[in-house]
Amino acid sequence: MDFFDVVNDRHSYRGEFLPDKISREDLEKIVITGLLAPSGCNKQTTEFVIVDDEKLLEQIRELHTMPAVQTAVAVIICLIDRQPEPVYQNYSFQIEDCAAAVENILLAIAALGYASVWIDGALRVESKAERLCKIINAAPGKIARILLPVGKAAEKTSQSVKKSFAQRAFFNKYSK
């Protein structure tokens, strides 16, 4: 699939997944795209845990009622440091690094014919990120920042309507 087709077709899928397993080869290929993402000062701070074990998936399903989580055949958990160290002057770029990696991963998921949704805010309530870290045995200094359920979509959905170029992009100066 052409890169621009993948970008146009990629969307957040919140529905149920088919029970079709995803090969470890595909899961590795997907996560490698995240590893290849740019990172502040090339510190490569984001780490990933890929869960395809049914017992662990059952525990993760207890954290979120969304159909995509409930029926996912795999999830990818993005980890960052709880207390990030500055890498440039007084700045840390872990959130930005994580976001760049996740976007690459979401595009790879779409390119391979799978679907996913970026789950972030729901991890910040009710100690869900901490509970998720416990399930995957994350190191004490790490926190789960993003959860990506992955699978074959059970239903056809499409990208939400996006605002036009003219509404959000400008040449040379902001002109709204």
Question: What is the per-residue pLDDT for 84?
Answer: 86
Dist. CA 77–CA 16, nearest whole Å: 19
Question: What is the per-residue pLDDT for 113?
Answer: 95
Question: What is the per-residue pLDDT for 150?
Answer: 98
Q: Is 40 left (phi over 0), alpha (psi -120 to 50) or beta?
A: beta
Domain ranges of the chain: 3-154
pTM of the predicted model as reported, rounded to 2 decimal places: 0.94
The CATH number assigned to the domain with range 3-154 reads: 3.40.109.10
Dist. CA 106–CA 116, nearest whole Å: 7
- Positions of the chain with pLDDT under 50: none
Structure tokens at 11: 């969307």
Question: What is the per-residue pLDDT for 64?
Answer: 93
